[in-house]
Amino acid sequence: MNQARVAALAAAAVLGGAIAVGGCAKAATDTSTAPAATTTAVAAAGSVHGTANIMLYSINSDGPDFRAVVTGVIGDYGPAVTVYPDGQVDPSHSSEMELKLTHGSFRLDIAALDKKLVQITKNEPIYPGTCSDVFGLTTELPVVAGSGTGAYRGITGGFAVTLTGDEVQTKPCAAGAFAWQVLVIAGSGSIADLRCVRVEEGDRLAAPPPAMGRRAAGAAAAGVQRVAVQRPSRGRE
């Protein structure tokens, strides 16, 4: 392998590292043969399978707004909101929850969770003497088919979760309003078919033509390195 080809493949490798993975784990790639750059482009755009952990929480809301943190095969965070299938906000949180993460979005079916929650909270307050409540339940949150966008386009699977809630109600307890409330939904599940790199981005991984001279190949690699260095970092909220 001549030095020009080495430089060309190095440029492709640097560019692949700069754009490969956003919100999900990097797919395994094969770079052992001559057309390695093309193979990498195809594999990086393929599906990813693995375990993801999720936490959804709400503080003093009792409405549609939550915050989400997802780790494991997905590493992302952002706001979440309960919605109807048509995308309109659902203040009764009885249908779906849309996670609007930094690398894309997807929805979870929360209908079963809501039905269980209504059942276990219908006799509040649980502790009348102190106007306080504690409750918990377990359920499944399947991913809504076709709801993924961005890095989560094509996502399938779901989460087995536990919901816990604690609240102190205002007095008199019969009023039903709370002074402080925390809801936490947490668990894990098997997630598949995350499209970590769009194909049109993957196409940029192709190596420069073999006829490119040593100087041109070196300049291409340097330019790619500059792209990687100048890529803006994401700050935390």
Identify the residue whose tokens are 């409405």.
63
Question: 152 is written with which tokens?
Answer: 């989560």
- Residues 89, 147, single domain; the answer is yes
- Residues 27, 116, single domain; the answer is no
3-state helix, strand, coil in the chain (%, to 5): 30, 35, 35
- Residues 41, 122, single domain; the answer is no
Residues 76-99 have a mean pLDDT of 96
pLDDT of residue 122: 87
The chain-wide mean pLDDT, for the chain, equals 74
- Residues 212, 154, single domain; the answer is no
Residue 108: burial class (beta carbons within 10 Å; 0-12, 13-18, 19+): buried
- Residues 66, 173, single domain; the answer is yes
Domain that holds residue 27: 3-46+198-230
Q: Between the CA of residue 51 and those of 70, 156, 187, what are the distances in Å? A: 10, 12, 11
- Residues 143, 32, single domain; the answer is no
* Residues paired with 139 in a beta bridge: 161
pLDDT of residue 218: 54
User: Which of 99-103, 152-156, 231-235 shows the lowest mean pLDDT across its residues?
Assistant: 231-235
Closest CA to 71 of 155, 186, 154: 186
Indicate if the pLDDT at residue 48 is higher than 50.
Answer: yes
**C-alpha distance across the termini of the chain, in Å:** 47
Residues 73-96 have a mean pLDDT of 95
Indicate whether 159 belongs to any domain: yes
Indicate whether 235 belongs to any domain: no
Closest CA to 165 of 186, 194, 147, 193: 186
- Residues 202, 134, single domain; the answer is no
- Residues 219, 153, single domain; the answer is no
Indicate if the pLDDT at residue 69 is higher than 70.
Answer: yes
Number of compact structural domains in the chain = 2
Indicate whether 170 belongs to any domain: yes
In contact, 168 and 132? CB cutoff 8 Å: yes
Indicate whether 59 belongs to any domain: yes
- Residues 82, 104, single domain; the answer is yes
Residues 37-44 have a mean pLDDT of 38
- Residues 121, 83, single domain; the answer is yes
- Residues 7, 100, single domain; the answer is no
Which one has a higher pLDDT value, 203 or 171? 171
pLDDT of residue 124: 84
Please tell me whether the peptide bond between 172 and the residue prior to it is cis, using omega within 30 degrees of 0.
Answer: yes
Indicate if the pLDDT at residue 237 is higher than 80.
Answer: no
User: Which of 93-102, 176-185, 220-229 shows the lowest mean pLDDT across its residues?
Assistant: 220-229
Residues 146-153 have a mean pLDDT of 95
Backbone φ, ψ for residue 151 (5° rounding): -65, -15
Indicate whether 236 belongs to any domain: no
Indicate whether 212 belongs to any domain: yes
- Residues 61, 135, single domain; the answer is yes
Indicate if the pLDDT at residue 46 is higher than 90.
Answer: no
Indicate if the pLDDT at residue 192 is higher than 80.
Answer: yes
The Cα 69–Cα 115 span in angstroms is 24
Q: What is the DSSP letter of 88?
A: -
In contact, 192 and 73? CB cutoff 8 Å: no
Indicate if the pLDDT at residue 18 is higher than 60.
Answer: no
Residues 10-34 have a mean pLDDT of 41
pLDDT of residue 1: 52
